Chains A and B, each alone.
Chain A
């Protein structure tokens, strides 16, 4: 009996310990809400609970969209443009749910995955569907996640968010031919039930690259940098576009000012992770120490560390505004560290997810005879672009819904001031480049035409090496 008593007392001790941990956790949570910084768990909780509300409020808060373009045809200026005209209330789809499967990074990155959620929740609201989200803990979760969704037969379309799920989607698409899939960033061209949504990240990256090139010379910096996540081919497109843009910006700067300039030193670092802000911070600090004054974030949630490092470096020099600057990615991240993020390369994953859902609906309604294929979204289609001051308000509303306390007017003021500290002609040149790339991508710098890069896509490790070499970027 004594032993039995001892066993129970040990368990009881464990229980008390756990209760203590939880009490501390809850106390921390309430302390956090008072201070305006809720923990990750509660953030997600609020997001999930208020998901339907989120959409309505952001639509209400969006800056007066006058047109109602469908995301497939026209570039939509904000992610909360009013519902596209295609959903017909009379038609009822056979499957009432859509699923969004995230890879390991998951929600809360304020970029890639949160944008996918945004697109999914907008589509769910506009088309009267239920959105189901699934995250992956490890790589081993991809296949079970996709299979367990597909085998229910309840889902109109299953959207896999991220290149890393390519193999798993390929396999499950073969096993469940009646299930429609979409994959963001993955290239699966030959299956009738898979839509591959690709973005022309090189186009958007060229724009921020040009901006970086010009601004760096304007502030007499010797280097610019980019901090990347895991080394996957998708990121090579960012790299190639960015390097090309930097050299293009330098040419323009030379032409405009008539000054002789020394080509910028271009630094790049793969951190190996999309969810590790600490590593992003270390990598950025190293680049700043080597003279970089603009660092491009191509690293998902790892990038949050880039912003921190840049802000700290600026504040250490007594500035409340860059240089140094960071460049945001995927969503409009200019608000995260206002004054230190010069612009963002917006990759409209939300448009991609929304389009996939719409396409699936059209296919079920008989409007399309073929669902599968490759959908490429670039500057022309509004799939990528550089953030404008006007985008800020919309994304601030999203951030508020994600549980961030933000002071809108102050942030907008600060970002406006920062943008005005850069000569207007630089911004105009970036816009001009955007127009150029939409129509005639044959512009050449350092003997490399932009269309040449385009032709090489999908890029592999060897091709990015060649591009780096051609554009005078050190091999690493």
Chain B
């Protein structure tokens, strides 16, 4: 009997995965068709554009483009974790952007120190992720102590972080040779490249490991269980002896660390500048892209990996679309936007629906 019920459980699981797969395929088709129609109306050849996009992102004949795809997937994979952990704890934490800036700032602070070579990397990761976690904790404390909505506080904190880091770039850590960026991470503090002549560095492996750690934490550790329980129903979780405030704070801290790692890995692992550039132009947007990645990946750490690679492929493929198919970047961005929308939409609707149901439940 036991074996039968476990078989039944497996079947249910299989059916769930299948449904999810059908949904994703359907969304991809819808996204590509609509974006293709838009390109066609704009006077471009959508087939040629899509072919060029895949050629310069996922083409198996040229490892350079695959490396580029993975390098663009790295930061969004980490910032997606921030959002995913938040969702699991019942939070709408969109502060990955600002937390990532703080992580990058931490790495630059370490770069400004005179240290023995091997110390740069570990210290950059420690200082960066601590700074980012502290930044996430501000929103967490506001939520837990004063009941401030985390959507509002994280959006505002993102901009505060932007200007703090921009201030530090101009006045505290400017590059003496080139005022458009901060001091660069010295060579011993840079992550080695996985393939020479590409942008893909060890930071990709760090991101993958982080994803698995978060997965293990969420599904195989007590804290993760508490986070998920709080997210599903905080009242029931409290009844079950869980302190939802404490777990929410942990969700903010862990999310902050993940976003901080994204910032640090951009500074230590992205050639050629290894610094924060003017207007934070080498960081801007990864935090928000992470939200889309998380939604596409069903807010599940293991779903985030393919989702991030998909977004990375879109970023990498924008080159081919411009050079081979002659589609201007504005149109490329619109196409990417539509595809990401189509993919993230089901997850977003589900998330909102669940929130509404819960709110109604609370009112009752």
Most B Cβ at <10 Å: residue of A13, A141, A175: A141
Minimum CB–CB distance from A276 to chain B (whole Å) comes to 9
Q: State in angstroms the CA–CA spacing of A18 and B32 once bound together.
A: 12
**CB–CB B23/A41 < 8 A:** no
Q: Does A320 touch B at the CB level, under 8 Å?
A: no
* A190 at the B interface (CB under 8 A): no
Instruction: Specify which chain B residues have a CB less than 8 angstroms from the CB of A41 in the assembled complex.
Output: 42, 328, 330-331, 334
Q: Is the CB of A164 within 8 A of B330?
A: no
Q: Which residue of B lies closest to A148 (CB)?
A: B319
A18→B342 contact, CB < 8 A: yes
Asked if A460 is an interface residue, CB under 8 A from chain B, the answer is yes
The answer on a CB contact under 8 Å between A144 and B281 is: no
Contact between B273 and A8, CB atoms less than 8 A apart: no
Complex Cα distance A168/B315, Å?
18
* B349/A272 in contact, CB under 8 A: no
Among A19, A140, A460, point to the contact of B72 (Cβ < 8 A): A140
B244 to chain A, nearest CB (A): 29
Give Cα distance in the complex from A409 to B27, angstroms.
52
Contact at A3–B19, with CB atoms within 8 Å? yes
B192 interface residue (CB < 8 Å to A): no
- Whether B42 and A42, one on each chain, are in contact in the complex, defined by CB atoms closer than 8 angstroms, is yes
CB-based contact A11/B277 at 8 Å: no
Q: Are B272 and A7 in touch, CB under 8 angstroms?
A: no
**A11 and B279 contacting across the interface, CB-CB below 8 Å:** no
Bitwise interface map of B from 28 to 40 toward A, beta carbon under 8 Å scored 1, else 0: 0011001001100
Complex Cα gap A140–B203 (Å)? 15
Q: Is A35 an interface residue (CB 8 A)?
A: no
A144-B319 contact, Cβ under 8 Å, with A171-B271, A171-B272: yes
Q: A167-B273, A273-B279 known; A8 and B328 CB under 8 Å?
A: no
Assess the B179–A231 pair: CB atoms within 8 A: yes
User: A460 to B180, Cβ gap below 8 A?
Assistant: no
Given the complex of chains A and B, what is the CA–CA distance between A457 and B38 in angstroms? 48
Q: Which residues of B contact A132 (CB under 8 A)?
A: 322-323, 326
Residues of the B chain whose Cβ atoms lie less than 8 Å from the Cβ of A144: 68, 199, 316, 319
Q: Does B278 contact A (CB under 8 A)?
A: yes
Contact in complex: A19, B199 (CB < 8 Å): no
Are B20 and A7 in contact, with the CB atoms below 8 A?
yes
B64 contacts which chain A residues (CB < 8 A)? 147-148, 151
Bound: A132/B346 CA distance, A: 38
Tell me, yes or no, whether B147 is within 8 Å of chain A by CB: no
* Beta-carbon nearest neighbor of A155 in chain B: B323
Of A44-52, A208-216, A255-263, A441-449, the stretch lying at the interface with chain B is A44-52
User: Nearest CB to that of B23 among chain A residues?
Assistant: A7
Q: How far is the CA of A149 from the CA of B346 in the complex (A)?
A: 37
Contact between chains at B34 and A22 (CB < 8 Å): yes
Specify which of A3, A99, A138, A166 is in contact with B285 (CB 8 Å cutoff).
A138
Please report the C-alpha to C-alpha distance between residue A41 and residue B331 in the assembled complex, in whole angstroms.
6
Q: With A13-B349, A106-B329 in contact, do A139 and B277 touch (Cβ < 8 Å)?
A: yes
Q: Give the chain B neighbours of A140 by CB distance below 8 A.
A: 72, 199, 266, 270, 282
Contact string, B257-269, partner A, CB cutoff 8 A, digits 1/0?
A: 0000000001000
Query: Which chain B residues (61-111) contact chain A, with CB distance < 8 Å?
Result: 64-65, 68, 72
**CA of A470 to CA of B105 in the docked complex: distance in angstroms?**
35
A137 close to chain B: CB less than 8 A: yes
Q: CA separation between A47 and B326, bound complex, in Å?
A: 11
Assess the B319–A232 pair: CB atoms within 8 A. no
Q: Which A residues touch B315, using CB under 8 A?
A: 137
B178: nearest chain-A partner, CB-CB: A233
- Given contacts A99-B323, A133-B328, A175-B197, A18 and B272 within 8 Å (CB-CB): no
Q: Tally B residues with Cβ within 8 Å of A.
A: 65
Residues of A within 8 A of B177 (CB): 460
List the A side residues contacting B26 at CB < 8 Å: 7-8, 11
- Which residues on B sit within 8 Å (CB–CB) of A139? 273, 277, 281-282
Q: Residue-by-residue, is B304-346 near A (CB-CB < 8 Å gives 1, otherwise 0)?
A: 0000000000011011101100101111011000100110011
The answer to whether residues A14 and B341 also contact, given A99-B323, A134-B319 and a CB cut-off of 8 A, is yes
- With a cutoff of 8 Å between Cβ atoms, the chain A residues found around residue B322 in the complex are 132-135
**A45-B42 in contact (CB<8A):** yes
Please tell me which one of the listed residues B27, B65, B333 contacts residue A11 in the complex, with CB atoms under 8 A apart. Answer: B27
Q: Which of B1-57 contact A (CB under 8 A)?
A: 15-16, 19-20, 22-23, 26-27, 30-31, 34, 37-38, 41-44, 56
Flag whether A4 is at the interface (Cβ < 8 A): yes
Contact status B349-A14, CB under 8 Å? yes
| B56: A residues at CB distance < 8 A | 148
- Whether A40 touches B323, Cβ cut-off 8 Å, given contacts A8-B22, A14-B346, is no
Q: Does B223 contact A (CB under 8 A)?
A: no
Contacts A8-B22, A163-B180 known; A143 to B271 CB distance under 8 Å? yes
| A219 lies within 8 A of chain B by Cβ | no
Nearest chain B CB to A217's CB is how many angstroms away? 33
Q: How far is the CB of A155 from chain B (nearest CB, A)?
A: 10
Question: What secondary structure prevails in chain B residues at the interface with A?
Answer: helix
Q: Contacts A7-B22, A140-B270, A164-B180: A44 and B330 contacting too (C-beta < 8 A)?
A: yes
A48 → B minimal CB distance (Å)? 6
A290 proximal to B (CB < 8 A)? no
Return chain A residues, CB-CB under 8 Å to B197.
Answer: 147, 175
Min Cβ gap B174→A in Å is 7
Which B residues are in CB contact (< 8 Å) with A170?
A: 272
- Among residues of A, the one whose C-beta sits closest to the C-beta of B67 is A144
Q: Is the CB of A10 within 8 A of B346?
A: yes
A136 to B284, CA, bound (A): 13
Question: B150 near A: Cβ within 8 Å?
Answer: no
CA distance A148 to B72 in the complex (A): 15
User: Closest approach, in angstroms, between the C-beta of A110 and any C-beta of chain B?
Assistant: 15
CB distance from B76 to the nearest CB of A (A): 11
Task: List residues of A (16-50) whose CB comes within 8 Å of B's CBs.
Answer: 17-19, 22, 26, 40-42, 44-45, 47-49
Tell me the minimal C-beta distance from B258 to chain A in angstroms: 19
CA distance A147 to B279 in the complex (A): 24
A168: chain B residues within 8 A (beta carbon)? 272
By a CB distance below 8 angstroms, the chain A residues around B226 are none
Q: Kindly state the separation between the CA atoms of A232 and B170 in the bound complex, as whole angstroms.
A: 11
- A104 interfacial contact with B, CB 8 Å: yes
Closest CB of chain B to A461's CB: distance in Å? 5
* Most A CB within 10 A of own CB, among B16, B31, B273, B350: B273
Chain A residue contacts of B350, Cβ below 8 A: 10
Does A336 belong to the interface (CB within 8 Å)? no
Q: Other than the known A18-B345, A460-B179, what 19 A-B pairs have Cβ atoms closer than 8 Å? A: A3-B15, A10-B350, A11-B27, A11-B345, A14-B27, A14-B341, A41-B42, A41-B331, A44-B331, A99-B323, A132-B322, A135-B322, A138-B284, A139-B273, A139-B277, A143-B271, A145-B319, A149-B323, A272-B166
The 3 A-B pairs of least Cβ separation, nearest first, read A14-B345, A139-B282, A135-B329
Can you sample 21 A-B contacts with CB below 8 Å?
A4-B19, A7-B20, A15-B30, A18-B30, A22-B34, A41-B42, A45-B331, A133-B328, A134-B322, A136-B329, A138-B281, A140-B282, A143-B271, A144-B68, A148-B68, A149-B323, A170-B272, A230-B180, A232-B178, A233-B180, A272-B278
Interface, chain A (partner B; CB < 8 A): 3-4, 7-8, 10-11, 13-15, 17-19, 22, 26, 40-42, 44-45, 47-49, 99, 104, 106-107, 132-145, 147-149, 151, 163-164, 166-168, 170-171, 175, 230-233, 272-273, 460-461
